[in-house]
Amino acid sequence: MGSKLEPTEHSTPIVEMENRSSSTSHNSSIKDNENADVENARGSAAVVPNWKPSTHELLIMLSLAVISLMVSLDASIIITSLTQMTSELGGTATEGFWIGTSYLLTNAVFMPVIASLSDIFGRPVCLLTSLVFFTVGSIVAATAKTMMTLLVGRCVQGIGGGGITILALVIFTDIVPLRFRGKFYGIIQAAWAIGSLLGPVLGGAFAKNTAWRWVFYLMFPFCFVGFATIPFVLTLKPKTETLGTKLKRVDWTGYALFISSMTSFLIAISWGGVQQPWDSWRTIVPLVLGVFGLILTGFWELYRAKEPFLRRSLFYCPSAFAAYLGTFIQGLMMFGCLYYAALYFIAVRHTTFLQAGVDMLPQALALVPISIIVGGLITRANRFRWAVWSGWLIATIGTGLLVIWGANTPPTAWIPIMMTVGIGHGLILSAQNFATQAIALPRDEASAAAMYAFLRSLGSAMGVGIGGSVFQNTMAVKLKQYGLPATIAKNAESYISVMWKDGIDPVVRTQSIDAYVFGIRGTFAFFCGMGGLAGIASLFIKHFDMNKELDSDHKLGQMRGSRSPKQQHPLQGSDEGKSVQSSTRN
């Protein structure tokens, strides 16, 4: 536990929010905190010493980077290899859709639950369990003989991948002070970026050589490294409690309500307008059940749960709402644009899967260095809003420029556009992450990191489904104009091979390509509008000081096999590390 804050006007609301004995005092503390600490804050935070990680902490960061690279690779490698998997296993377009979507769905749904369980049972146990899920899912997928088996493997992989992603962020809040997270989290961001870079290229290469199973075999070396290092270097320990006490802390009802209702909601959003009409009972029933279940989950967490895993205090001020909205929209935009950019190259430009992966490199090549550089600049300047604002401006402009892509757009035009999109998201990726943590109350930093990861993943899961609905409806308009069957839009991926077959009427091919272009443009226009919404919302984010004490119940113990004494953070348990969260206007 970090040193407690002195009872100043800035810290009083924080103390009050820790006192859950009265809902009245809890609600007033939120209001007081918003008014005093956000809107009319005065003074400045204490100067934070120049923190540097120990060798032990660096090893933890590197271990997290390796398994984060694995998860990133797995998420992006499927984009250019999915068609080959579906074709070889004799799957339908619908089954192929769910192979990609199921991973994103389980990835998002289980994130908050795993983060909450790690507060109770400890980070190492939950991270290793997530790695087990990911490994088992990879084995099942790699050896699948049917589409159903592959689907099961991807679902299990998604649970593990979600746990790894969210715990990597949470663990950083345990070992690195907020002011310096931007600098050192660049290690994880670099790993994610490398995975995003290599994934589409490797997926295309495996698909080209009909070796799609290597998409999953490739994960095994990373899993081995994770199992070999995490038990020895990740020695974070939660509060000492009996197993019975820990089990009583688990919000079983909340978990069950959330997982079931969020799954129902995402299924409806994913196939609504894509596989099933929006007015079909197959869409309406799970959508209504999902929304009702999420409302019920909210009431349970607010009024009944003894230890809620969804904290109301995370949304205690307008700045927090704006930051989390931006996080969700970035996930929606970034993954959605990536997916439909790949469709553009394969369907419209008729590239191979491998070439499509190469063609998407400019975006990642721009995103990687920008996100790392911005993280360092945020650390140095103790300012993050400039990156949020400029990031949304550039990303929205870049996404809007994607609308000009046509059948004959030259590389000299689409490469700079993709790099513009990458620069914008590189700025947002770092700034949005640390904005949510800077805005959070000191004891909520880990929960803020978890909420950030969840909402970004939720956006990614919904991006493909919502984007698919926009694409199909827009493409169908153009197909009808040409007198072609509107049903082509529902099987757009499988129709690509038909459209490019020898002997097809050149006029029909030209009209079909134009319909694809029209649909993809409509999708990019939708994402551009969402970026504009996030940019406007970001203007409501106030400045928050990042010089906050390191406050975590999870203490870093001695590394296994090491004789060195336990190191104490300069910001943990010392008067020098005391810092008051302040919020001032720029």
**309 and 270 in contact (C-beta within 8 Å)?**
no
Read off the pLDDT band of 191 (50, 70, 90).
Answer: confident
- The pair phi, psi for residue 347, each rounded to 5°, is -85, -50
- The pair phi, psi for residue 555, each rounded to 5°, is -90, 145
User: Between the CA atoms of 350, 352, 354 and 357, what dihedral angle is there, to the nearest 10 degrees?
Assistant: 20
Give the fold, CATH level 3, of 55-251+318-538. Growth Hormone; Chain: A; (1.20.1250)
pTM above 0.85, yes or no: no
Position 321 pLDDT exceeds 90: yes
Whole-angstrom distance, CA of residue 402 vs CA of residue 412: 13
Q: What is the pLDDT of residues 500-542, one digit of tens each?
A: 988 888 999 999 999 999 999 999 999 999 999 999 999 999 9
Q: Scan for tokens 């491998």, then name that residue.
A: 354
Confidence at residue 413, expressed as pLDDT on a 0 to 100 scale: 93
Q: Scan for tokens 């000299």, then name that residue.
A: 412
Position 5 pLDDT exceeds 70: no
Confidence at residue 365, expressed as pLDDT on a 0 to 100 scale: 87
Q: What is the mean pLDDT of residues 222-241?
A: 88
DSSP, collapsed to helix, strand or coil, labels residue 555 as: strand
Confidence at residue 49, expressed as pLDDT on a 0 to 100 scale: 61
Position 562 pLDDT exceeds 90: no
- The pair phi, psi for residue 236, each rounded to 5°, is -65, 135
Q: What is the pLDDT of residues 258-285, one digit of tens each?
A: 999 999 998 888 787 777 778 888 889 9
Whole-angstrom distance, CA of residue 278 vs CA of residue 203: 33
Q: Domain segments of the chain: what residues?
A: 55-251+318-538, 252-305
* Burial readout 72-110 (b: 16 or more C-beta within 10 A, e: otherwise): bbbbbbbbbbbbbbbeebebebbbbbbbbbbbbbbbbbb
Q: What is the pLDDT of residues 417-440, one digit of tens each?
A: 999 999 999 999 889 988 999 999
Position 254 pLDDT exceeds 70: yes
Q: Identify the DSSP state of 308.
A: -
Q: What is the pLDDT of residues 452-504, one digit of tens each?
A: 999 998 998 888 778 888 998 899 999 999 999 988 888 887 788 889 988 88
Q: Identify the DSSP state of 403.
A: G
Q: What is the pLDDT of residues 277-310, one digit of tens each?
A: 788 888 899 999 999 999 999 999 988 888 888 8
Q: What is the pLDDT of residues 60-105, one digit of tens each?
A: 999 999 999 999 898 888 877 887 888 888 877 777 778 878 888 8
Identity at 581, one-letter amino acid code? Q
Comparing CA positions, the residue from 397, 471, 549 lying closest to residue 97 is 471
Q: Identify the DSSP state of 565.
A: P
**352 and 208 in contact (C-beta within 8 Å)?**
yes
Bridge partners (DSSP) of residue 236 are 556
